[in-house]
Amino acid sequence: MSSQSTGLRPWRQRWNALFQDHEIFIRTHGHVRFVRVSAVWQKRVALIAAAVLLAWAAVTVAIFVNQLLSADERAEVARKQAAATAAEARIAQYRDRVGEIAADLDERQAQLEEWQKTYFGAEALPAAADDDKTGAAADKPVETSAVDPRLPPEAQALARIEARQEAFSARLLAAVGARAAKAEGAVAKLGLDPASLVRNAAAGRGGPFIPFRGRIGAAGALGKSFAALEGALFRMEVLERTLVAIPSGQPAHVLMLSSSYGYRSDPFTGASAMHSGLDFPGPLGTPILAAAPGKVLYVGQRAGYGNVIEVDHGQGIMTRYAHLSGFTTRAGAQVAAGQQIAKMGSTGRSTGSHLHFEVRLNGVAVNPRRFLEAKADVLEVKDDARQRVGALASAATGRGTR
């Protein structure tokens, strides 16, 4: 305590030294007045001045701090406003997109439904392919987990619709794949190469396949699955149409000379020559039948063939019936499988009444024997395909020309 007062003493002494009693003489009009300014009074004035100064400083600092704070607040408010404006802009932009997305989904739904109706009719689609791989997947609902919970409610609703559409598309794809595989197996058993058939068809593509173009979805997941579905449908249709076009019907109800296709000695010259068809010997006038449904391309004479009929079955497949004695159809007519088109004869380079039957695939003669000897399982798939393609054809006529 004493040491503290000892420490303060020099300061107090300096403070007291600042203030000393002063006596001031003032002379006015010859009179001299005497004013005394005491040290105590000086100290009081100094203290009051110091207090006023302190108060002023405090107020100034307070005002300054307050101004700083409000500037901060103003910046914060501005920031919030900017964020709100940006959010509003995003929402407005999203609202515009909602219309677009909804229209896109609508368009895709219409396309999916049309595909299902066109290719499967009233047939129920088989359950999704992964259902039989994992039993747990069967009770899995539409993947709502894939929907981003941060999206606005409208967007979530659309995303859920999109997920359902995706699931439906996947089921359709699986069904198309299964059918295409069946047709592929049958086509292969008939000795044709399914891959090259699809390739050839794709090269000359143009028919009813109009690539699906979404407004915004082409790049999205659904765009990809649509492209896959489109490709699978094209492949399925080519294989099924080929299967239907394959002339597996007997062109005449007589025994064929199954060994007659290929190189043999020419009955006229005796030299080895390529025989590009099968011969069916039989009585003059025996009914000649279309081996597959198709359109009559040509009715008339050709050198060596005599009276000849050519029928186009589509998919690059053509049948030729030669040495005929008469015709029962005309060029341009649509004929069914098994429908009579001509009568057996011996016109052209023929040694006796018989049918010369040729099958050409993209202009190249192929041995018709494997088509005519198709086994029951292949014929069953073929018949299945015929009904489907038939339905497709009548649906196409109903819709108008394509």
CB of residue 277 to Zn ion, shortest distance in Å: 5
Exposed e or buried b per residue across 338-365, where buried means at least 16 C-beta atoms within 10 angstroms of its C-beta? ebebbbbbbbbebeebbbbbbbbbeeeb
Close Cβ partners of 211 (under 8 Å, ≥ 6 residues apart): 227, 230
Q: Which is nearer to Zn ion, 356 or 386 (CB)?
A: 356
Q: Which is nearer to Zn ion, 162 or 279 (CB)?
A: 279
Interface positions with Zn ion (CB under 5 A): 279, 356
CB of residue 331 to Zn ion, shortest distance in Å: 22
β-pair partners for 294: 335
Q: Which is nearer to Zn ion, 118 or 347 (CB)?
A: 347
CB of residue 279 to Zn ion, shortest distance in Å: 4
Q: Which is nearer to Zn ion, 354 or 388 (CB)?
A: 354
Q: Which is nearer to Zn ion, 122 or 255 (CB)?
A: 255
Closest residue to Zn ion: CB criterion = 356
CB of residue 312 to Zn ion, shortest distance in Å: 21
d(C-alpha 383, C-alpha 391), whole Å: 12
Q: Which is nearer to Zn ion, 20 or 351 (CB)?
A: 351
CB of residue 257 to Zn ion, shortest distance in Å: 9
Q: How many CA atoms lie within 13 A of 181 on its CB side?
A: 6
Retrieve residue 82's tokens: 């900017």
Close Cβ partners of 42 (under 8 Å, ≥ 6 residues apart): 19, 22
CB of residue 356 to Zn ion, shortest distance in Å: 3
CB of residue 223 to Zn ion, shortest distance in Å: 53
CA 142 to each of CA 137, 168, 348, 399: distance values in angstroms, whole numbers, following the listed order: 11, 10, 68, 34
Amino acid at 176: V
Q: Which is nearer to Zn ion, 116 or 286 (CB)?
A: 286
* Cβ neighbour number for residue 109 with a 10 Å cutoff: 14
CB of residue 332 to Zn ion, shortest distance in Å: 26
CB of residue 192 to Zn ion, shortest distance in Å: 22
Q: Which is nearer to Zn ion, 184 or 279 (CB)?
A: 279
Contact yes or no for 190/133 (Cβ under 8 A): no
Q: Which is nearer to Zn ion, 294 or 368 (CB)?
A: 368
